[in-house]
């Protein structure tokens, strides 16, 4: 194996299929470790990992925090509430300060697209993009591919529907790149205000009607509808959305019994997904959360290993 070549994880687009495979295999070995009574390995002992969450997200932060802890790193959390941003300090200055204090890895969550790339180009620390505006959320896509492969095996020619607000979704973008790396057939579904035609330039299909695509789908990936953050012009209202795109029991009846239902969370029960479906055996929602931990450990491990050989960790 060659050394892991990337200082940072900013975008799925930077990964080759081999590198993605390596992350999946590493995650699989960490998942095995997590099933043991002592769920901790010393891989990142002495390293400092900082969660810099300019845009709040408790779930993602906890997942990264736990992943770093399981690898024996020291973890610092800097949230938008506690950080210097309220005092007007720039992102770059804040990150430079963290670097000076010895941060080896900075996990950045930010509402501005490109912010992780911006830091990665300017700091020697490893930067992990934990979601940058509507751009990318690479660890989410890796854990999603991990989860699909656990359930369905290969992704080659599997039909994946991604449903909802694609325009504002970093999860959708990262997943499109990741799923294409594994040969999936992708259709984006939603109203033209949230799924404009121009997405076809990414090599996917764009559709505005859900029911016609359900019977052939192997994966139905539902995105959270953020109606509270949505400007009214995109979106006539929740009822209208449920009518067109909500995954109801009636719509589930159109699907293959083998189809899996995915959601990056947190979900709106009764909006994009009916509550019973969320808790059904077809749903992978809790597996995604669980796999997220192993995948984030794998990413931290790959970056921190730096110039070391790519090799799977063994306990």
Instruction: Determine whether 281 is exposed, middle or buried from the number of CB atoms within 10 Å of its CB (0-12, 13-18, 19+).
Output: exposed
Query: Binding of another protein at residue 310 (CB under 8 A)?
Result: no
How many angstroms from the chain centroid is the CA of residue 314?
25
Instruction: Determine whether 110 is exposed, middle or buried from the number of CB atoms within 10 Å of its CB (0-12, 13-18, 19+).
Output: buried
Query: Binding of another protein at residue 272 (CB under 8 A)?
Result: no
Q: By C-beta, is 92 or 311 nearer to another protein?
A: 92
Q: Which of 199, 221, 241, 301 binds another protein (CB under 8 A)?
A: 199
x/- letters, 158..197, toward another protein (CB under 8 A): ---------x--x--x----------------------x-
Q: Which of 115, 140, 268, 284 binds another protein (CB under 8 A)?
A: 115
Q: Identify the bridge partners of residue 132 per DSSP, sorted by sequence position.
A: 110
Q: How many residues does the chain have?
A: 315
Q: Which of 27, 91, 214, 304 binds another protein (CB under 8 A)?
A: 91
Query: Binding of another protein at residue 265 (CB under 8 A)?
Result: no
Closest CA to 103 of 139, 76, 64: 76
State the minimum distance, in angstroms, from the CB of residue 224 to another protein.
16
Applying CB under 8 A, which part among 76-84, 117-125, 148-156, 250-258 lies near another protein?
A: 117-125
User: Dihedral (C-alpha) 260, 228, 170, 58: value to the nearest 10 degrees?
Assistant: -80
Query: Binding of another protein at residue 126 (CB under 8 A)?
Result: no
Query: Binding of another protein at residue 135 (CB under 8 A)?
Result: yes
Query: Binding of another protein at residue 117 (CB under 8 A)?
Result: yes
User: Dihedral (C-alpha) 141, 50, 224, 291: value to the nearest 10 degrees?
Assistant: 50
Q: How far apart are CA 283 and CA 277, in angstroms?
A: 7
Contacts of 264 (CB under 8 A, 6+ apart): 137, 140, 144, 171, 223, 224, 288
Q: Which of 66, 113, 238, 305 binds another protein (CB under 8 A)?
A: 113
State the minimum distance, in angstroms, from the CB of residue 111 to another protein.
8
Query: Binding of another protein at residue 133 (CB under 8 A)?
Result: yes
Q: By C-beta, is 177 or 182 nearer to another protein?
A: 177
Residues at the interface with another protein (CB under 8 A):
90-92, 110-115, 117-118, 121, 132-136, 167, 170, 173, 196, 198-199, 201-202, 231
């Amino acid at each position: 194996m060659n050394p892991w070549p990337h200082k940072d994880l900013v975008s799925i687009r930077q990964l080759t299929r081999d590198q993605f495979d390596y992350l999946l295999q590493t995650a699989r070995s960490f998942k095995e470790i997590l099933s043991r009574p002592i769920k901790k390995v010393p891989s990142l002992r002495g390293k400092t990992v900082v969660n810099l969450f300019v845009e709040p997200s408790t779930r993602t932060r906890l997942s990264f925090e736990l992943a770093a802890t399981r690898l024996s790193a020291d973890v610092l959390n800097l949230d938008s509430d506690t950080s210097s941003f309220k005092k007007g300090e720039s992102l770059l200055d804040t990150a430079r300060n963290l670097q000076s204090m010895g941060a080896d890895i900075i996990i950045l969550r930010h509402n501005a697209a490109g912010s992780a790339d911006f830091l990665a180009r300017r700091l020697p620390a490893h930067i992990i993009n934990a979601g940058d505006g509507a751009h990318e959320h690479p660890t989410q896509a890796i854990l999603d591919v991990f989860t699909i492969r656990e359930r369905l095996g290969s992704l080659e020619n599997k039909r994946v529907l991604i449903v909802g607000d694609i325009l504002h979704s970093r999860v959708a973008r990262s997943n499109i790149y990741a799923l294409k790396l594994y040969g999936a057939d992708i259709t984006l579904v939603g109203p033209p205000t949230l799924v404009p035609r121009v997405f076809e330039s990414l090599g996917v299909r764009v559709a505005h009607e859900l029911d016609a695509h359900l019977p052939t789908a192997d994966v139905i990936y539902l995105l959270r509808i953020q109606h509270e953050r949505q400007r009214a012009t995109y979106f006539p209202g929740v009822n209208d959305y449920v009518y067109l795109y909500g995954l109801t029991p009636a719509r589930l009846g159109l699907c293959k019994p083998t189809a899996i239902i995915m959601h990056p969370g947190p979900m709106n029960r009764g909006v994009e997904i009916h509550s019973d479906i969320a808790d059904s055996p077809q749903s992978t929602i809790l597996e995604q959360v669980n796999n997220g931990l192993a995948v984030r450990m794998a990413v931290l491990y790959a970056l921190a290993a730096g110039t070391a050989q790519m090799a799977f960790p063994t306990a």
